[in-house]
Chains A and B, each alone.
Chain A
């Protein structure tokens, strides 16, 4: 085949792949078609990789095919193998941090592509201004995503403390890093403008940009609390797409441009949707509003009223003789990986004739939709899962609401107290139930840092303990009733 035909095949392959990505993403908007959507998108990816491999193998892009093939094959096997192993072996509770890790390496790859190509172009002669701008953007965005996503992943994994970390002078370091990035960027563009040719200063500027952008990513994510990580990961996800598109401009590859732009934009919309579901603004999250303690006066008052503590036996009696129970699973359940215990308890109660339902807040778990995945993993039947709008009218008719590791999404202050930082956030009306049992590790407030008046409600009994252990003792107690 002549090179012309091959180039045409490659381009047509990218168009097809791009179309499949669009169709795939669109199908992922609805639960029924989501899985096939992901598969359609995977087919698009396979096509894009195959036509690229074909183009490389037939030498349109280079000469020493043997070595090139070996390096690519080795890289794909190692990287793909790692990805395969991680994706297969990860616990479903640890899945958000894995997505963040994949996002990190994707951003890193985009940055590397831009860096490498810029060095090659510089050695070959003068790099045009427009290419320099795309290289700069690709390197900066890719590097920020790489370090930022690693920190986000570490926070969710617990390697990095998930509370908002305020390092002394952190703001200053962030600003300094930002300035270095801008300065280096301006230098490179200026040099290209004057057609001055590459000097050792060029590479120094490039290296400074990379290092400063990496630092920026770290100091940007560190002060953000663990509960906000999903939105941050989604934002960084959108960044990686943009970085990939920039890399596409640099190496003139339309496959990269289409897919990168698509993910950049779709990821941006998704980030906004996620922030909306959590009733937060994006600026608020990134600049660190509450969660960093900036919102003074929210947590100062302390608890009024008394908290009634109950033991597993009391709780078991209440549950076992109830007609209807609604279980409210939350972040604490996800952290303790107690989804199987919850299911076991629910089955036990059902075998005694209790009507059991699950109330799923839109942002329950560590990410929107995460709780549904966790409960599905524990084989909780789908019809028992109720979304907030459907379950809220049921609470007044319910004998016992069992709250497992959920806090802010049950806080009545969101309805009643206009001064509360979470005022206006849609919540589950747990306090409307006849009785409330809350399983919680301690009286520590949730991530919003505010007290929950549900706990001092006379209807509420607090069962202190780790979600998994408390549920286990509850199961044993119900069996003994």
Chain B
């Protein structure tokens, strides 16, 4: 085994152990978003796809790597967005019954700005 590979293997094993530890007692409510969030992270394969585009030396390889980039980009972008959409709802419902939530956001920041004014003065 080469030196490079041994280093990589070390990194791999440590990352696996961190992966085991980082998920602890998750409430069942969060299982789905957490899975979706982890799903987005393995979209990291995008950087691998980008790397094989860069080394493509024939049309077939170029096509294969292009498909890989499309797939991986879909995984990354879609994965993060759909997770965010799910988690957004968790936060929304924590704010108790704010009617018309689009209006409540600027309203909240305005209130903050007003609050900051007197404090400075």
Interface residue A216 (Cβ < 8 Å from any Cβ of B) = no
Within 39-97 of B, Cβ neighbours of A (below 8 Å) are at 39-57, 61-62, 64-94, 96-97
Contact A113 B68 (CB under 8 A): yes
Contact A49 B62 (CB under 8 A): no
- A247 CA to B25 CA, complexed, in Å: 30
Interface residue B5 (Cβ < 8 Å from any Cβ of A) = yes
Name which of A366-374, A394-402, A447-455 contacts chain B. A366-374
Min CB–CB distance B9 → chain A (angstroms) = 8
Q: B15 — which chain A residues lie within 8 A by C-beta?
A: 18, 245, 257-262, 265
Interface residue B119 (Cβ < 8 Å from any Cβ of A) = no
Interface residue B115 (Cβ < 8 Å from any Cβ of A) = no
Interface residue A106 (Cβ < 8 Å from any Cβ of B) = yes
Which residue of chain A has the shortest Cβ distance to B68 in the bound complex? A112
Contact B23 A75 (CB under 8 A): no
In-complex Cβ contact of A244 among B11, B37, B48 (8 A): B48
Interface residue B28 (Cβ < 8 Å from any Cβ of A) = yes
Q: A382 — which chain B residues lie within 8 A by C-beta?
A: 93-94, 96
In-complex Cβ contact of B69 among A48, A71, A103 (8 A): A71
Q: Is the interface of B mostly helix, strand, loop or mixed?
A: helix
* Size of A's binding interface in residues, CB under 8 A: 117
- A30 CA to B98 CA, complexed, in Å: 23
- A29 CA to B46 CA, complexed, in Å: 25
Q: List 7 A-B contacts (CB under 8 A).
A: A25-B38, A72-B50, A75-B73, A80-B77, A92-B85, A98-B78, A109-B68
Interface residues of A (CB under 8 A from B): 17-18, 21-22, 24-26, 28-32, 34-35, 37-39, 41-42, 45, 48-49, 52-53, 56, 61-62, 67-68, 71-72, 74-84, 86-88, 90, 92, 95-96, 98-99, 102-103, 105-106, 108-110, 112-113, 115-117, 119-120, 128, 130, 230, 233-234, 237, 240-241, 243-245, 247-249, 251-270, 273-274, 277, 362-363, 367-370, 372-373, 376-377, 379-383
